[in-house]
Structure 1
Amino acid sequence: MEITIDKNKCTGCGACRKACLKGPKIFLLKDRNGKKVAEVGNPSYCLGCRMCVSVCKPGAITLKN
C-alpha cells in the first residue's frame, strides 16, 4: 500500500492519526511555514484499512496498491 498525504489540503486536525489502527503511524508536524500537517512515519506499517482516508474531511489522504 502506498499512502500519500497532500500537504496543501491537510488541515492538521489529527483525525487520521487517531483513526490509524496500527497505533499512530501518522504524525503531526509543522512545515517550514509553521502550518501543522500530517506525515506518514513508516508507510510499510500501513494495513490498507483506509480508516485515515474515511475520516479525512478535506480529502488529503490517498492510498494506492
Structure 2
Amino acid sequence: MRRGRPEGGIAAAARELGVENTEAKRAIKIDGIAPAAKEAARAAGLENNQSTLLKVTQAEPEC
C-alpha cells in the first residue's frame, strides 16, 4: 500500500507508458499547440523537433 499523496493523472499515465513525468508533460504541451501551428511545423519538417515545438507552446497565447 502506498502512503502519502495520491498519484496524479500525468504521473500515472507516465508510469503506465514507461516514460518520465517530464516527457509526458512535454507531450501534453506539444499536443496543445494550435492545429494551424502543427500544420506549419509539419510543412517545415519540424513535427518531430520537440525543442522547436516547445518554443511554440511558449509563444502561443493562452486561450
Shorter-chain TM-score bucket reads under 0.3
Of Structure 1 and Structure 2, the greater helix share is in: 2
TM-score w.r.t. length of structure 1: 0.24
